[in-house]
């Protein structure tokens, strides 16, 4: 976990219950006389994440039933590591583009609240977009956030980035299943494995649309890699989570085709879970004072 991540899995429930009183009804005894929640219960997981956002960032957040419930500690870890890539910006806010922002709007919410980034989110799902727009209205500090609709699910960047527009950072948590039935089956398996286990951060809801892309994660990553070279002068750092480790090699291979000036894999660990994102740029890193 990043040194600046305030969330470890030994949650202190009293400030969280103060932030979101409904959480109290879901607290159960955990290991070593600690308190916990049932991580296989989507309602409990949702309220925990809602409380984390309110307690730490004063973010007001709700989630429509059936949509992907983000595990805030892990999502924030990704942004902390991505933030480390950014050069020091004198006198202006960093601009971040979140591909597939979802109904939860999680990265723009965290990006604005924790780093004061100016955020744009893209999304294909109309329902998710209208929900995310509601979240912007619920948080005064988010009013500068824009959501742009990607009309073609097979495309990622075209139609989203305006001519001459500049971003310091792109983040993305890609859809990872090949089709709707694979997404539903995996979710059912996950819930079954979880039942009764004292594990953290593995539960998610998720409308099927949110979780799949034709060809799965690998196809999405290839597409992003190829498209990125076209926008190399407009986006300083591209980053993208990769959920299956075996996809990292292919992803890097496709990124290299565009001749990046830097390309790296950043490993993250959170409890027993590890994950990674790939970061690459086509811009010159010389003469920049890195944070």
Binding site for ligand SAH (CB under 6 A): 68, 70, 75, 99-102, 104, 106-107, 122-125, 128, 150, 153, 155-156, 173, 175, 209-210, 213
For ligand SAH, the closer CB: 17 or 101: 101
Residue 157 C-beta: closest distance to ligand SAH, Å:
9
Residue 30 C-beta: closest distance to ligand SAH, Å:
25
Helix, strand, coil abundance in the chain, percent, nearest 5? 40, 20, 40
For ligand SAH, the closer CB: 219 or 248: 219
33 DSSP assignment: G
Contact 258, 282 (CB under 8 A): yes
Residue 32 C-beta: closest distance to ligand SAH, Å:
30
For ligand SAH, the closer CB: 68 or 268: 68
Residue 106 C-beta: closest distance to ligand SAH, Å:
5
CA distance 44 to 120: 30
Q: Which two tokens stand for residue 24?
A: 């109290």
For ligand SAH, the closer CB: 131 or 280: 131
Largest CA distance in the chain: 57
CA distance 289 to 273: 32
Contact 95, 168 (CB under 8 A): yes
Residue 164 C-beta: closest distance to ligand SAH, Å:
21
Please state, as a whole number, how many other Cβ atoms lie within 10 Å of the Cβ of residue 76: 28
Q: Which two tokens stand for residue 276?
A: 């990674």
Residue nearest to ligand SAH (CB): 100
For ligand SAH, the closer CB: 47 or 106: 106
Q: Which two tokens stand for residue 278?
A: 């790939």
209 DSSP assignment: H
For ligand SAH, the closer CB: 107 or 251: 107
Residue 205 C-beta: closest distance to ligand SAH, Å:
10
């Amino acid at each position: 976990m990043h040194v600046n991540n305030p969330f470890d899995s030994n949650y202190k429930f009293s400030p969280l219950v103060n932030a979101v009183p409904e959480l109290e009804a879901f607290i159960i005894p955990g290991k070593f006389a600690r308190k916990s929640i049932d991580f296989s219960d989507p309602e409990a997981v949702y309220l925990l994440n809602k409380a984390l956002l309110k307690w730490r960032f004063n973010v007001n957040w709700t989630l429509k039933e059936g949509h992907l419930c983000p595990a805030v500690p892990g999502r924030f870890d990704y942004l902390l590591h991505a933030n480390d890539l950014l050069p020091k910006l004198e006198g202006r806010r960093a601009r971040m583009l979140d591909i597939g922002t979802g109904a939860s709007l999680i990265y723009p919410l965290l990006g604005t609240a924790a780093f004061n980034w100016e955020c744009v989110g893209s999304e294909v799902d109309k329902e998710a977009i209208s929900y995310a727009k509601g979240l912007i209205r619920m948080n005064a500090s988010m009013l500068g956030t824009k959501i742009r609709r990607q009309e073609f699910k097979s495309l990622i960047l075209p139609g989203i980035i305006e001519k001459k527009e500049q971003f310091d950072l792109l983040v993305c948590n890609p859809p990872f299943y090949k089709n709707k039935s694979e997404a539903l089956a995996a979710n059912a398996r996950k819930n079954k494995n979880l039942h009764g286990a004292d594990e953290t951060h593995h539960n998610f809801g998720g409308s099927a649309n949110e979780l799949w892309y034709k060809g799965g994660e690998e196809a999405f990553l290839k597409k992003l890699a190829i498209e990125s070279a076209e926008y190399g002068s407009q986006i300083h750092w591209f980053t993208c989570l990769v959920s299956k480790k075996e996809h990292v090699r292919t992803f890097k291979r496709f990124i290299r085709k565009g001749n990046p000036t830097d390309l790296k894999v950043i490993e993250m660990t959170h409890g027993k879970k590890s994950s990674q994102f790939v970061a690459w740029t086509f811009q010159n890193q010389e003469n920049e004072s890195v944070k």
